[in-house]
Structure 1
Amino acid sequence: MTAPTTDTGLLRPHAEQAYAAELAALAAADDRPRPPSWELSPWAVVTYLLGGVLPDGTAIIPKYIGPRRLLEVAVSTLATDRALLLLGVPGTAKTWVSEHLAAAVSGNSTLLVQGTSGTAEEAIRYGWNYARLLAEGPSEAALVPSPVMTAMRTGKIARIEELTRIPSDVQDALITVLSEKTLPVPELGSEVQAAKGFTVIATANDRDRGVNDLSSALRRRFNTVVLPLPAGEDEEVAIVTRRVAELGAALELPPVPAAAEEIRRVVRVFRELRAGVTADGRTKLKSPSGTLSTAEAISVITNGIALSAHFGDGVLRASDIAGAVLGSVIKDPVADSVVWTEYLEAVVRERPEWADFYRACREVSG
């Protein structure tokens, strides 16, 4: 298990704060060409994300476990004049990868627009300090830059989370920014031209319904990289184990021994219900309405550790995770309850080594 390399004392430090020591070591060892305004070379950025050992012996903790080629494509995109769209189902680490890419490339992951149905155009373009606007009229001092405008001025990366949740007319405010690399300010008769190094990383969830699809004009401005779910059980277990350790350290949870067995069990449950078939391929299953993502598995285990540490005997047991597993699976009280009951009786009950998990789940299921 691993934890961030720098103790900041913050509950949720930004990537450039939590891993400041690693980024500094990479910068010192990095002798490869760097694109304009980049803190690291493309090779060093990928090493930061995937992990490795530097010539001086410094160990770089993997931030992402997945195909190397995907990250190489993403980083190469950032080195061109194209924006990057990270696409995938919930829990595929889109936000996590976006943050760490911005931290490694720009040294700043905080130029962020959080997309919602209420996101206004000012969040992408600019707004106004209305007190100054009324008192002085339009002026540079009265203008309130968006994170995108700030990134353009400083040659940094702007991050846009959940792009497809933003109304379509607001999304299209990005077209001129991404194609012309300028942001007009007609009220001042001026414009902001992007400094070298500026680009945008956006994320989008391809499982949401009722969201705003990107226009063809906007989609052409992005290179899209699809982040997949973990390919195998061992890979997903490794991801959950690493992130649980990081969260436990940040939250200062008491150490809980022997968590590996329960981590693997939660991952197995989630993967089987996601796939609609047991791991051995013998039993077909109904899938619940939720995504049962890796991120949810991390949350289940972290909650179980807190429960065990504060209200149990300090050992993570089936009874500590059963309630959180139930809450993750049953999003629709009617349909998902049927799915879960069938899974318990047809799969969990038939595994003698899962007898404790079966009893705990039946108890919390009522």
Structure 2
Amino acid sequence: MQAGVIDATVLRPHAEQEYAGELARLAEHDDRPRPPGWRLSPWAVTTYLLGGTLPDGSQISPKYIGPRRLMEVAVATLATDRALLLLGVPGTAKTWVSEHLAAAVSGDSTLLVQGTAGTAEEAVRYGWNYARLLAEGPSERALVESPLMRAMRTGAVARIEELTRMPSDVQDTLITILSEKTLPVPELNTEVQARKGFTVIATANDRDRGVNELSSALRRRFNTVVLPLPDTVDDEVDIVARRVDQLGTALELPDAPAGLEEIRRVVTVFRELRGGLTSDGRTKLKSPSGTLSTAEAISVITSGLALAAHFGDGVLRAADVAGGIVGAVVQDPVSDRVVWQEYLETVVRERPEWLDFYRACREVS
């Protein structure tokens, strides 16, 4: 599929397709210097991420709501010979930011390696078509390029998701690529040299199990930007509301008001429980085992909208989000249930304006 052409049957278009109009308008008004191989200048990439108004009055929607300086540092890193590591707890938009950075810089966010405990070295370097390898021996036709190799050949951005979930020996195959900007292919007595514009954006978090720490040699080859949780309730409510609206449109959910009151309640519950303190600072709370991230709040609200649209009166109410929020909080059926019940009885019950929410949660708990 060509960039900018959206197939209506696709559930989630790539960023460069969904926001092709904004990227094109930015390119038209972008008269600032562009690093070699970039489609936009660093200023335009940052504007694409954070939103803004162009000289002709057209609006660029914000893709990331947070400190501007963090995005400026991330974009500036990509303009150097350093790779970028986006670090943060789950749900801080690391994947979202990496995709939009790749879309704005090189127009292609699909050169992706998903890190897991089973990720093999071939996923980072290259593999072989074994039928051709047996028939012809090592040859260019038998070579299967990894996303990183394709990015090196074309001068594009390669993305690595959950870098610390990959085995340490697989992680370290990146060292030569990042330091020498070359990928040796000894079987063919050749190498692939990176074209200008090539870089790597990796994401990682240290809250999940199964984490493999980066070696010091590999960590030195990344500039690290830590993406924080939203500073305020208002910021987080804004993020959730925007993303829920986008998802509702993409999923073609029946029209239903987003319900800012319910969004604010879900966000407040998540922030209080993960912070271990009520919003007024008066009551200390036990925190559950889960992360209760912004991404999980988005999921709870989206599921609630689907319930309201298909099984309710089309208006998002407490009963529509209660099941999702209990499921998000109670990850461990023993310890988390105790945490949730204490929060429900000591905090939620004492808020008169939350009586409907208290009853709905009691019913599903």
Per-residue deviation at 1:258?
5.6
Give SS of 1:116's match: coil
Question: 1:214-229 maps to which residues of 2 (within 5 A)?
Answer: 214-229=214-229
Q: Is 1:244 aligned with 2:244?
A: yes
Deviation at 1:257, TM superposition (A): 2.1
Residues 276 and 287, structure 1, Cα contact 8 Å, conserved in 2: yes
Q: Deviations over 1:168-213 (max 9, x none)?
A: 0000000000000000000000000000000100000121233110
The offset of 1:7, in angstroms, is 6.2
Report the secondary structure of 2:141's partner residue.
helix
Identity of aligned residues (%): 81
1:58 is displaced (CA, Å) by 1.2
For structure 1, which runs of at least 5 residues remain unmatched after alignment? none
Q: Which residue of 2 aligns with 1:256?
A: 256
Q: What CA distance in whole angstroms lies between the structure 2 residues aligned with 1:78 and 1:258?
A: 36
Contact 1:6 1:19 in 2 (8 A): no
- 1:303 maps to what in 2? 303
- Give the match for residue 87 of structure 1: 87
Conservation of the 8 A alpha-carbon contact between 1:88 and 1:94: yes
Question: 1:92 and 1:237 mapped to 2: Cα distance?
Answer: 14
Q: Which runs of 4+ in 1 moved over 3 A?
A: 5-8
2:258–2:305 contact (8 Å) kept in structure 1: no
Closer, same or farther in 2 for the Cα pair 1:108/1:143, shift >3 Å?
same
Moved more, 32-41 or 253-262: 253-262
The AA in structure 2 aligned to 1:156 is A
Contact residue 91 and residue 295 of structure 2 kept, 8 A: yes
**Pairwise mapping of residues 23-42 of structure 1 onto structure 2 (< 5 A)?**
23-42=23-42
Query: Quick check: 1:134 aligned with 2:140?
Result: no
Q: Which residue of 2 aligns with 1:17?
A: 17
Q: Which residue of the partner structure matches residue 314 of structure 2?
A: 314
C-alpha distance in 2, partners of 1:7/1:306? Answer: 24
Question: Which amino acid in structure 2 is aligned with residue 97 of structure 1?
Answer: V
- Aligned pairs (5 A) from 1:64-79: 64-79=64-79
Bigger Cα displacement from structure 2, 291-300 vs 207-216: 207-216
Letter in 2 for 1:193: Q
Q: Distance in 1 between matches of 2:97 and 2:203?
A: 10
CA contact (8 A) 1:35 1:79 kept: yes
2: CA distance between counterparts of 1:167 and 1:312? 47
Identify if the C-alpha distance between structure 1 residues 240 and 7 changes in structure 2 by more than 3 Å, giving closer, same or farther.
farther
Q: Is the 8 A contact 1:112 1:147 kept in 2?
A: yes
Residue 189 of structure 1 corresponds to 189
Flag the 1:6–1:67 CA change in 2: closer, same or farther, 3 A.
farther
Equivalent-residue separation in structure 1 for 2:56 and 2:5 (angstroms): 18
- Would you say 1:156 and 2:160 are equivalent positions? no
- What is the total number of aligned residue pairs between the two structures? 361
Q: Is 1:50 equivalent to 2:38 in the alignment?
A: no
Tell me the distance in 2 between the aligned counterparts of 1:300 and 1:109.
27
Q: What is the distance in 1 between the residues matched to 2:17 and 2:321?
A: 31
AA aligned opposite 2:67: P
- The one-letter amino acid paired with 1:82 is R
Structure 2: gaps (5+ residues): none
Query: The residue matched to 1:236 in structure 2 has which SS?
Result: helix
- In structure 2, the residue matched to 1:358 is 358
| Aligned residue identity for 1:313 | D
Query: 1:109 corresponds to which residue?
Result: 109
The letter of the residue matching 1:161 is E
2:116–2:166: 8 Å Cα contact kept in structure 1?
A: yes
Deviations 1:96-153 (A, max 9, x none): 0000000000000000000000000000000000000000000001000000000000
TM-score by length of 2: 0.98
Q: Which residue of 2 aligns with 1:125?
A: 125
Is the 1:8–1:18 contact (alpha carbons within 8 Å) kept by the matching residues of 2?
Answer: no
CA distance in 1, matches of 2:266, 2:279: 13
Partner of 1:328: 328
Secondary structure in structure 1 of the residue aligned to 2:97? helix
SS in 2 for 1:291: coil
Are positions 1:275 and 2:279 aligned together? no
Name the CA distance, whole Å, in 2 between partners of 1:91 and 1:23.
Answer: 25
| Separation in 2, partners of 1:122, 1:146 | 7
